[in-house]
Amino acid sequence: MDTRILIADDDEKSLAGLSNLLADLQYATAIATTFADATEAATRFVPDVLLVALSLAPNDDFATLARDLRAACGARSPMLIALSGWGESQHRDEALAAGFDVHLVRPVGLDQLTFILSMVA
């Protein structure tokens, strides 16, 4: 597939699981474990989709996380997906208000993820 996905997560098990799953589905993937690594990888890899753990947000500032990652992608406008352990509607609303396109609660289901990724041109 031509879709490029950057996975940024400080949870190594989650990161490995998502990376392996997406590689098995033939997506081109890159990974990052810190906010700094994620912004650098976004600049270098130029992803179509960013799957980002909200735990990477500096000082729990989700808007800065979203803004800086989008800026790192330059003119390209990737789909920005928040990964979180919280599933209340307020958590989803906070992520969307911060600039994320989608909020997913871990563990992410295969059907849910493939449906969302199918919307990326």
Q: Is the pTM of this model over 0.75?
A: yes
DSSP state, residue 83: E
Q: Give 3-state DSSP helix, strand, coil % of the chain, rounded to 5.
A: 50, 20, 30
Check pLDDT > 90 for residue 71. yes
As a whole-number percent, the residues of the chain with pLDDT over 70 amount to 98
pLDDT of the residue at 107: 87
- Tokens representing 42? 């976004």
Check pLDDT > 80 for residue 87. no
pLDDT band at residue 114 using 50, 70 and 90 as cut-offs: very high
All structural domains of the chain with their residue ranges: 4-117
Residues contacting residue 36 through CB under 8 Å, at least 6 positions apart:
none
CATH number of the structural domain 4-117: 3.40.50.2300
pLDDT of the residue at 101: 97
Residue in the structure block whose two tokens are 């990652």: 69
Evaluated on CA atoms 25, 98, 72, 59, the torsion sign reads negative
pLDDT band at residue 18 using 50, 70 and 90 as cut-offs: very high
Residues contacting residue 63 through CB under 8 Å, at least 6 positions apart:
97, 98, 99
pLDDT of the residue at 121: 62
Residues contacting residue 99 through CB under 8 Å, at least 6 positions apart:
62, 63, 66, 67, 70, 80
